[in-house]
Amino acid sequence: MKRGNRVLLELRNIYKSFRNNNGELRVLEDISIKIQEGEIVALVGPSGCGKTTLLNIISGLLFPDRGELSFREGLRLGYIFQEPRLLPWKSVEANIAFVQENFLGEVEGKQIRERLLERTGLLDYREAYPAQLSGGMKQRLEMVRALAIRPELLLMDEPFKSLDIGLKYQLQELLLEEYGREKFGIFLITHDPEEAVLLADRVIILSEKPTGIRREILLDLPRAERSLKNEEIYSKFEEILELII
| Domain definitions of the chain by residue range | 7-75+152-244, 87-149
pLDDT in the model for residue 1 = 43
Average pLDDT (85-104) is 95
Greater pLDDT, 5 or 56 = 56
Q: How far is CA 5 from CA 35, 45, 131, 180, in A?
A: 10, 27, 43, 17
Percent of the chain scored above 70 by pLDDT?
98
Average pLDDT over residues 15-32: 90
Q: Does position 147 have pLDDT exceeding 50, yes or no?
A: yes
pLDDT band at 2 (very low <50, low <70, confident <90, very high): very low
Q: Within a 10 A sphere around the Cβ of 134, how many other Cβ atoms?
A: 9
CA distances from 163 to 158, 222, 231, 232 (A): 10, 25, 27, 27
pLDDT band at 3; cut points 50, 70, 90 = low
Whether residue 154 is predicted with pLDDT greater than 80 in this model: the reply is yes
Expressed in percent and rounded to 5, the helix, strand and coil fractions of the chain are: 40, 25, 35
Quick check: bond before 64 cis, omega within 30? no
Give CATH for domain 7-75+152-244. Answer: 3.40.50.300
Q: How many residues does the chain have?
A: 245
Residues 6+ apart with CB under 8 A from 11: 31, 32, 33, 34, 54, 57, 58, 67, 68, 69
Report the candidate in 239, 157, 236, 159 with the shortest Cα–Cα distance to residue 201: 236
User: Does residue 44 carry a pLDDT above 90?
Assistant: yes
Is the pLDDT at 59 greater than 90? The verdict is no
